[in-house]
Amino acid sequence: MQSTTEENVMVLDEDSAIETELNDGSEILDEASPLSKGQMHLAMLAAVALPPLGLLAAMYFLWGGLFSSLNLVMMIVLYIATGLGITIGYHRMFTHKAFAAPKPIGIFFMILGGMAAQGPLVWWVATHRKHHHHSDQEHDPHSPHASRKPGVVGWIVGFAHSHIGWLFSSTGDSNYRYVPDLLADATIMRINNLFPVWVGLGLLIPAVIGGLVTMTWTGAALGFLWGGLVRMFLLHHATWSINSVCHVWGWRDYRSGDESRNNPVMGILSFGEGWHNNHHAFPSSARHGLKWWQLDVSWIIIRSLQIVGLASKVRLPTKERMDARRRIAV
Ligand SMILES: [Zn+2]
Ligand SMILES: [Zn+2]
């Protein structure tokens, strides 16, 4: 992997310093995660399997006429809120330190990210930093290309691994050497260890609203399904598509040393994260949609927070740096 950007150098230096300190991250794994490795895989199975079951149940009730616009509104609002928790909080703020914010703002986005049920913050950040360190190479936790077998079957298996299979493979293990900054922060660890509470909150809020608005148990159940499980299902696949789709389909504006792509559909569905080639070229940029027409809702919000004084140290690549990394031909 090339490491000519300031951003990469920062991450790589951090990694190698910690790797010399630790032979094995497993000791820290127990400390960082409220769950054992076996429980973690079981929790992942639940996180992967329950939302599609919820979707099936929601379709069944919809077929029977049990649906209201309130369910749709709750699904969309919570998709946006928890999605921004992942993109602004988990990803840009905590993984890449693309900007700084007052503590309550950080906690707010951490909790929203937790409600997305994509894993505790520390695990998510560790996995993602490892992805950048080894992008599309052997130790990448979720590359569709690394160690891929030849032929169509190899391609399908590689794609499935990058999208969902990696959650159950050993490539995601022992990553906690990547997150000394988070492990050292007591507030972050407290919120991190309450991850199951945040997942529960993300299911409870739409259920309570649905129940109170309609004053029926059916309303509560439909709120739970649409605002909870269906919303989780859609956001899970949007996020996982950044790992799979955005390393396969799209174009590359910049030399990033990997197969990351800019994909406009995912740019919209994942609030700017689909400009993934831009992101791999400039990992700690708070802005991923680098051209004016590359819609990046997460960036618009970070910039707005900056304007009202709630975000600082916002990092952006300079024009010189962007010109130096630009690919002449795609
Ligand atoms: Zn990537
Ligand atoms: Zn990243």
pLDDT at 128: 94
166, pLDDT greater than 50: yes
Cα-to-centroid distance, 297 and ligand 1 (Å)? 19
The answer to whether residue 285 is domain-embedded is no
The answer to whether residue 267 is domain-embedded is no
DSSP type of residue 311? -
Cα-to-centroid distance, 160 and ligand 1 (Å)? 15
The answer to whether residue 146 is domain-embedded is yes
Q: Give this prediction's pTM.
A: 0.88
The answer to whether residue 221 is domain-embedded is yes
What is the per-residue DSSP string for 144-161?
A: SSTTPPSHHHHHHHHHHH
| 83 and 235 Cβ atoms separated by less than 8 Å | yes
User: What are the distances in angstroms from CA 57 to CA 54, 86, 224, 281?
Assistant: 5, 26, 11, 42
Give the ligand at the shortest distance from the Cα of 260: 1
Q: Which tokens belong to 155?
A: 């391609």
CB atoms within 10 A of CB 153: 9
Q: How confident is the model at residue 39 (pLDDT cuts 50, 70, 90)?
A: confident
Tell me the average pLDDT of the chain: 87
212 lies in which domain range? 10-249
- Domain total for the chain? 1
Q: How confident is the model at residue 294 (pLDDT cuts 50, 70, 90)?
A: very high
CB atoms within 10 A of CB 319: 8
User: Which phi and psi angles does 138 have, rounded to 5°?
Assistant: -50, -45
* Mean pLDDT within 282-309: 97
Cα-to-centroid distance, 330 and ligand 1 (Å)? 18
Cα-to-centroid distance, 241 and ligand 1 (Å)? 10
| 119 and 143 Cβ atoms separated by less than 8 Å | no
Could you report the per-residue pLDDT of 53-102, keeping only the tens digit for each?
A: 999 999 998 888 888 999 999 999 999 999 999 999 999 999 999 999 99
The answer to whether residue 63 is domain-embedded is yes
The answer to whether residue 198 is domain-embedded is yes
**What's the one-letter identity of residue 202?**
G
The answer to whether residue 204 is domain-embedded is yes
DSSP type of residue 55? H
Residue 220 CB contacts under 8 Å (≥ 6 apart), including other chains: 207, 208, 210, 211, 214
Cα-to-centroid distance, 212 and ligand 2 (Å)? 39
Distance CA 84, CA 78 (A): 10
The answer to whether residue 96 is domain-embedded is yes
User: What are the distances in angstroms from CA 119 to CA 3, 115, 195?
Assistant: 28, 9, 7
Q: H/E element holding 252?
A: none
Tracing tokens 């309130």 back to the chain, one arrives at 70
